[in-house]
Amino acid sequence: MADTVHTWVPALQETGKRIPARSGLKKFLRQRSTIAFLMCLPLIVIITSLVIYPAFYSIYLSMLNKAQTRFIGLGNFTFLLSRDVFWMVVQQSAIFALSAVFFKALIGLITAHLINNLPSKGQRKWRGMLLVPWVIPLALSSLGWWWLFDPTHSAFNWILAGLGFNEIPWLSDPYWARFSVILVNVWYGAPFFLIMYLAALKSVPEQLYEAAAIDGANAWQRFIHITLPMMRNIIAITVLFSLIVTFANFDIVQIMTAGGPRNMTHVFATYSFLLGIRSGDLPLGAATSLFMFPILAIAAVFILRGVRKRGREIA
Partner 1 sequence: MTSVAISVPKAAGAPRLASLKRNRRWALITSYVFLVIFAIFFLMPPYYMVVTALKSDAEVAHMATNPWIIANGITLDQFKILFTQTDFLIFFKNTAIVTVAVVIITMVVSVLAAFSLGRMRFWGSSILATGIFLTYLVPDTLLFIPLFQIVKAIGLLNSYWGMVLVYPTLTVPFCTWIMIGYFQSIPKELDEAALIDGAGHMQMLLKIFIPVALPGIIAATIFAFTVSWAAFVYPMAFLYSADQQVLTVGTVTSLIRADVYKWGMLMAGALVAAAPPLVIYAFLMDYYIAGLTSGATKG
CA 104 to chain centre: 12
Does position 294 bind partner 1 by CB under 8 A?
Answer: no
Pairwise CA distance, residues 311 & 139, whole Å:
35
86 binds partner 1 (CB under 8 A): no
Collect all residues with Cβ–Cβ distance below 8 Å to 275 and sequence separation of at least 6: 281, 284, 285, 288
253 binds partner 1 (CB under 8 A): no
Contact 219, 134 (CB under 8 A): no
Q: Does 234 bind partner 1 (CB under 8 A)?
A: yes
- Out of 225, 228, 298, 305, the only residue in the binding site for partner 1 (CB under 8 A) is 225
Residues 32 to 51 in contact with partner 1, rule: CB under 8 A = 32-37, 39-40, 42-44, 46-47, 50-51
The answer to whether residue 25 forms part of the interface with partner 1 (CB under 8 A) is: no
Q: What residues have CB less than 8 Å from 148, skipping those under 6 apart?
A: 154, 155, 156
Query: DSSP for 204-246?
Result: S-HHHHHHHHHTT--HHHHIIIIIHHHHHHHHHHHHHHHHHHH
Least Å from the CB of residue 135 to partner 1:
5
Backbone angles phi, psi at 71, to 5 degrees: -85, 125
Q: Which stretch binds partner 1 (CB under 8 A): 17-25, 78-86, 173-181, 268-276?
A: 268-276
Question: DSSP class of residue 250?
Answer: -
In whole angstroms, how close is the CB of 134 to partner 1 at the nearest point? 9
Per CB under 8 A, 248 contacts partner 1:
yes
Phi/psi at 109 (nearest 5 deg)?
Answer: -65, -45
The number of residues that bind partner 1 (CB under 8 A) is: 120
Report the residue from 80, 115, 182, 239 that binds partner 1 according to the rule CB under 8 A: 115
258 binding partner 1? (CB under 8 A): no
261 makes contact with partner 1 (CB under 8 A): no
Binding segment (CB under 8 A) for partner 1, from list 18-26, 83-91, 163-171, 199-207:
199-207
For partner 1, the closer of residues 95 and 155 by Cβ is 155
Among residues 143, 174, 172, 142, the alpha carbon closest in space to that of 157 is found at 172
Counting contacts by CB under 8 A, is residue 168 touching partner 1? no
Using CB under 8 A as the binding rule, whether residue 163 contacts partner 1 is answered as no
Q: Determine if 85 is a binding residue for partner 1 (CB under 8 A).
A: no
Q: Could you tell me the sign of the dihedral formed by the alpha carbons of 62, 66, 71, 75, in that order?
A: negative
| Category of 5 on φ-ψ map: left (φ > 0), alpha (ψ -120 to 50) or beta | alpha
DSSP states along 130-158: HTHHHHS-HHHHHHHHHHHT-TTT-HHHH
Task: Figure out which of the listed residues 89, 181, 239, 244 binds partner 1, where binding follows CB under 8 A.
Answer: 244
Q: Is 196 in the site for partner 1 (CB under 8 A)?
A: yes
Residue choice 19, 129, 228, 298 for contact with partner 1 (CB under 8 A): 129
Nearest approach, Cβ of residue 46 and partner 1 (Å): 5
**152 touching partner 1, by CB under 8 A:** yes
Residue 150 as a binder of partner 1 (CB under 8 A): the answer is yes
Using alpha carbons, list the distances in angstroms from residue 15 to 19, 34, 196, 242. Answer: 11, 19, 48, 51
> Which of the ranges 76-84, 95-103, 121-129, 171-179 carries the binding residues for partner 1, by CB under 8 A?
121-129
